[in-house]
Amino acid sequence: MRMYDIIEKKRDGLTLSEEEIRYFIQGYTEGSIPDYQVSALLMAIYFEGMNQTELAYLTKAMVDSGDTIDLSAIDGIKVDKHSTGGVGDTTTLILAPLVASIGVPVAKMSGRGLGHTGGTLDKLEAIPGFHIEISRDEFIELVNRNKVAVIGQTGNLTPADKKIYSLRDVTATVNSIPLIASSIMSKKIAAGSDAIVLDVKTGQGAFMKQVSEAEELAKAMVAIGKKTSRKTIAVISDMNQPLGYAVGNALEVKEAIETLQGKGPKDLTELCLTLGSHMVVLSGVIENEAEAKAKLEENLHNGKAFETFKLFLEAQGGNAEVADKPERLPQAKYKIDIPAKKSGTVAKIITDDIGTIAMTLGAGRQTKEDEIDLAVGIVLHKKIGDSVKVGEPLVTIHTNNQDISAIKPKVYECIMISDDQVTPPQLIHNIIS
Ligand code: URA
Ligand code: CA
């Protein structure tokens, strides 16, 4: 087999065989096929796409490029959740204890991401003492006992994806549905999940700006799930404004705690109940989605979800008292309100710029080596459709640097106030199953 022929075939719009796909994934992972040939193939895939059969072969080849996690020692169907990425997205922190509180096993593997804020791991480390350096055996034992545990990324999972993702980044081939779908699904499958709930974000602050693009990505991933015997369902959710009010690590932990106590923001709560009910149904613990949702909602209000969260923190060395006293979470030195310059209705929030402001404050990493400041971030006071009076705080900046003169004008540019009535965006656009 020659890489040249594989490139030519895809360039001409033909379908690649399983052997051809395996050949290039293996060869690229081992280093016997050079970057320039894989770059050309990626560009051909970008233009010609892949059918569902090719997609499943590509995903499986990427899974087989490295280690896979065996979670079979954990009782029950392991359901994982993945979000394509948004601003202020705290759902994992809430969903893990929430669905565990009704008996769904959550065996979460988590890494440190780049982005506007840290990942779930960074957020959890805002809890004093909490650690994810536990052995594989301890991890399994904890999930079997408490139904929820988080472990740091171990093993060499999907090395093909790591190499291909870096190459896509510099060859203008990131934005390709087959490449995104196989990248995400290969990582979920390698991490050992039996079933997958995908939260595909759409809107100004998301990768997929249009609902139709998000649906196309969702359909590709659900099809991969079907062909690899992983029950998969995708929720298309709105990212035209940050989820909840808080954007920042400790700030989002506090928001998650409030949500687990049934006092969270409406949109964040609703999204967690929707994603959670699909996780519960896929796990087989409750058959009917409406029933699952009602049960989850009950556990937000009767203290069970919150108790499960505390149990989970303590089991991994965390000081669970912090959950009762969130003022003990890392606090920024300065909390500076930014007042509205005019009265009206919030019409638009430039969500990705809000994320960039949080990152500038120190909440996120630009490179893997960056240290993040768990305390800093932005708390919104108004969301789209809310009325606001001149002088009322629009946002509060949590910062360790008193000088926010460079940040203030950016905040005003991010939040548009209109004289007209504005309807808030719909939160759930579609469900693909
Ligand atoms: N997230 C991923 O994991 N992979 C992609 O290709 C895009 C987003
Ligand atoms: Ca939030």
* pLDDT tens, position by position, 209-264: 999 999 999 999 999 999 999 999 999 999 999 999 999 999 999 999 999 999 99
Distance separating alpha carbons of residues 174 and 180, to the nearest angstrom:
7
Q: Quickly tell me which residue has 């890494």 as its tokens.
A: 111
Give me the pLDDT at residue 346, please: 98
Distance (Å) from CA 400 to ligand 1 centroid: 32
pTM as predicted = 0.95
Q: Which residues pair with 415 in a beta bridge?
A: 349
Atom of ligand 1 minimally distant from the CA of 184: 3
Distance (Å) from CA 395 to ligand 2 centroid: 13
pLDDT tier for residue 121 given thresholds of 50, 70 and 90 = confident
* Average pLDDT for 32-48: 98
Q: Which of 165, 198, 201 to mutate to test the pocket of ligand 1 (most atoms within 8 A of CB)?
A: 165
Q: Which of 45, 183, 200, 202 to mutate to test the pocket of ligand 1 (most atoms within 8 A of CB)?
A: 183
Is 116 a residue of the active site? no
Distance separating alpha carbons of residues 63 and 56, to the nearest angstrom:
11
Distance separating alpha carbons of residues 400 and 403, to the nearest angstrom:
9
Give the closest residue (by CA) to ligand 1 atom 7.
180
pLDDT at 73 over 90: yes
Is 183 a residue of the active site? yes
The predicted-structure confidence for 129-169, as pLDDT tens digits, reads as follows: 999 999 999 999 999 999 999 998 878 999 999 999 999 99
62 CB near ligand 1 (under 6 Å): no
Residues 6+ apart with CB under 8 A from 59: 181, 182, 185, 186, 189, 224, 228
180 CB near ligand 1 (under 6 Å): yes
Taking CB atoms within 8 Å and a gap of at least 24, the contacts of 167-170 are: 167/35, 167/38, 167/39, 167/42, 168/42
Distance separating alpha carbons of residues 175 and 257, to the nearest angstrom:
35
Distance (Å) from CA 10 to ligand 2 centroid: 42
184 CB near ligand 1 (under 6 Å): yes
Identify the nearest ligand to the CA of 383 by its number.
Answer: 2
| Antiparallel, parallel or unpaired: β 246-248 and 377-380 | antiparallel
157 CB near ligand 1 (under 6 Å): no
Give the closest residue (by CA) to ligand 1 atom 1.
184
Distance (Å) from CA 267 to ligand 2 centroid: 10
